[in-house]
Amino acid sequence: MKFTIKHRFNDGVLFSGNFRSLKLCVEAAVDSVADLSGANLSEANLSGANLSGANLSRADLSGANLSRANLFGANLSEANLSGANLSGANLSGADLSGANLFGANLFGANLSEADLSRANLSGANLSRANLSGANLSRANLSGANLFGADLSRANLSRADLSGANLSGANLSGANLSRANLFGANLSRADLSRANLSGANLSRANLSGAAAKIIPLQIIGLHWDVIIFDNHMKIGGEFHPINEWLDFTDDRIGYMDSHALAFWRENKTMIMAVAVAHKEKAAKGEKI
């Protein structure tokens, strides 16, 4: 049977031939190093396909079945993968920058060292996915399911993780600077050595979040205080302990209309506890 792969915008023929299935046709195109950028593969069944190194930038793969497919090192930049099934797929080292993965199923997928910067992963299922060392800077992960995902050493700077489920996720060594974690579920997440400077943790669930030593909580004040190895959360403000020490009155007053009075009353006590906790964490002492 003859299969033809066409461009999604101009209907131009990118590759064609006689094959038993579209999957075999696409694999042949990749083997011949055909340029499949902009290809229309919407709803295609490519389950288990070997597409390693494929150029599928700006391709339409919406609703496609790519479960267990090998997309190692593939170029999927700005591709449309909304609603696609990528469960168990190998996307290690792939370029997914600017890609649309809205509502995609990436359960158990291997995305280690992948470039997902500026990608739309809103509502995507990334539970148990391997995202170690991945670049997710400025990515939209709002409402995404990252339960048990491995995000160790991942770059999530300025990423939108509002309402995301990060329960049990491994975020050790991750860069979460200026990330939006409003309302995110971080229960039992591993935040050891994570950079959370400037992150928005308002209404986030941090119960049982792991660090080198158990985080300390100070309750009963106007705002609850949670002290991690190197960071401290007071109300919705989350910053490195060293930055809290150096904040000026103007910087504190900018946080909230009641912040400066609170800080002047409680700073000495809070910082004494925070610094002692940080020193224990540095030594790896158990508490």
Residue whose entry in the numeric block shows the structure tokens 């995609």: 104
Chain segment 38-64, per-residue pLDDT in tens = 999 999 999 999 999 999 999 999 999
Distance between CA atoms of 207 and 93, rounded to whole angstroms? 33
pLDDT value of position 287? 43
* Residue 257 located in a structural domain: yes
* Residue 241 located in a structural domain: yes
pLDDT value of position 212? 66
pLDDT value of position 106? 98
Chain segment 104-137, per-residue pLDDT in tens = 999 999 999 999 999 999 999 999 999 999 999 9
* Residue 97 located in a structural domain: no
* Residue 229 located in a structural domain: yes
Share of the chain above pLDDT 90, in %: 77
Q: How far is CA 157 from CA 18, 152, 203, 271, in A?
A: 47, 13, 19, 27
Q: In the chain, which ranges are E strands?
A: 2-6, 13-18, 216-218, 225-227, 231-234, 237-240
Residue whose entry in the numeric block shows the structure tokens 């006590």: 269
Q: Which of 31, 30, 52, 48 is nearest to 39 (CA)?
A: 30
* Residue 232 located in a structural domain: yes
pLDDT at 208 over 90: no
Whole-number average pLDDT of the chain: 93
Check if the beta carbon of residue 249 is closer than 8 Å to that of residue 260: yes
What number of other Cβ atoms are within 10 A of residue 261's Cβ? 13
Domain count, the chain: 1
- First-to-last alpha carbon distance for the chain, in angstroms, is 68
CA angle 106, 112, 117 (to 5 degrees): 80
Beta bridge partners of 269: none
Q: Where residue 285 falls among pLDDT bands split at 50, 70, 90?
A: low
Extract the tokens encoding 284.
């790896």
* Residue 234 located in a structural domain: yes
Q: How far is CA 285 from CA 116, 181, 189, 213, 279, in A?
A: 37, 29, 20, 7, 9
Check if the beta carbon of residue 147 is closer than 8 Å to that of residue 168: yes
Chain segment 215-251, per-residue pLDDT in tens = 787 888 998 888 888 888 888 788 889 999 999 999 9
Distance between CA atoms of 280 and 107, rounded to whole angstroms? 37
Give the residue-averaged pLDDT of 267-287: 85
pLDDT at 155 over 60: yes
CA 92 from centre of chain: 15
* Residue 108 located in a structural domain: no
Give the residue-averaged pLDDT of 15-21: 97
User: Which of 164-168, 224-228, 278-282: highest mean pLDDT?
Assistant: 164-168
Distance between CA atoms of 226 and 213, rounded to whole angstroms? 13
Q: How many CA atoms lie within 13 A of 117 on its CB side?
A: 9
In three-state secondary structure terms, 217 is strand
* Residue 188 located in a structural domain: no
pLDDT at 166 over 80: yes
Domain extent, residue 249, equals: 213-287
Q: In 98-244, which ranges are E strands?
A: 216-218, 225-227, 231-234, 237-240
